[in-house]
Amino acid sequence: MAGSRSEPYRPINFPTPDAHIAMKLQDQISSDAEAVMAPAENVRPTHVLLAEDDRALRRFLEVVLERAGYKVTAAGDGLEAMKLLLAGPVDVVVTDEMMPNLSGHEFCRFIRNSPSLAHLPVILLSALERKDHANQTDEQADAFLPKPVSSESLVECIEKLLSKR
């Protein structure tokens, strides 16, 4: 037969006006939700580089800082900390004063002498007693905290230094 169809007849489903409106509303809601969520995706947590040679204390401080909402990268000595600092973005450095391979003071000096890193806040932790926190060796650091450091004082110090930026 001329004009016969080889395919069976299938009805065309036209969307009803209500279905069409519902689809448009769903698209609008999806795009609104994406617009609201987009800024949150671009916000990254503050990144703390923690350099501490005492494994137990390093782990304790790492947990404290993570619970406070910081992203933490931990290093076991100053040389490892230097490599990690050069490898990626860091917002604040917390370093022990006396460590193998590179002391906290040497690490601090490296940061301050590097134009791209000199702006970073640096907190120096030490078990040594300090009578004068503003002596020449501490000039490289923005803050000094004696060990044992309390979790509250460390987090408070970081927040204070970051608020100054």
State pLDDT tens for residues 48-71. Answer: 999 999 999 999 999 999 999 999
**Crossing angle, helix 55-67 and helix 151-163, to 10 degrees?**
60
Q: Contact at 8 Å (CB) between 96 and 54?
A: yes
**Whole-structure pTM value:** 0.71
The pLDDT score that the predictor gives to residue 139 is: 67
The pLDDT score that the predictor gives to residue 140 is: 85
SS3 content of the chain, % helix, strand, coil (to 5): 45, 15, 40
Q: How large a percentage of the chain has pLDDT more than 90?
A: 60
Q: Contact at 8 Å (CB) between 164 and 119?
A: no
Mean pLDDT of 67-81: 96
The closest of 152, 93, 148 to 124, measured between CA atoms, is 93
Mean pLDDT of 31-45: 53
Output the CATH code of domain 47-163.
3.40.50.2300
Mean pLDDT of 136-156: 85
Backbone angles phi, psi at 93, to 5 degrees: -115, 130
Q: Contact at 8 Å (CB) between 165 and 120?
A: no
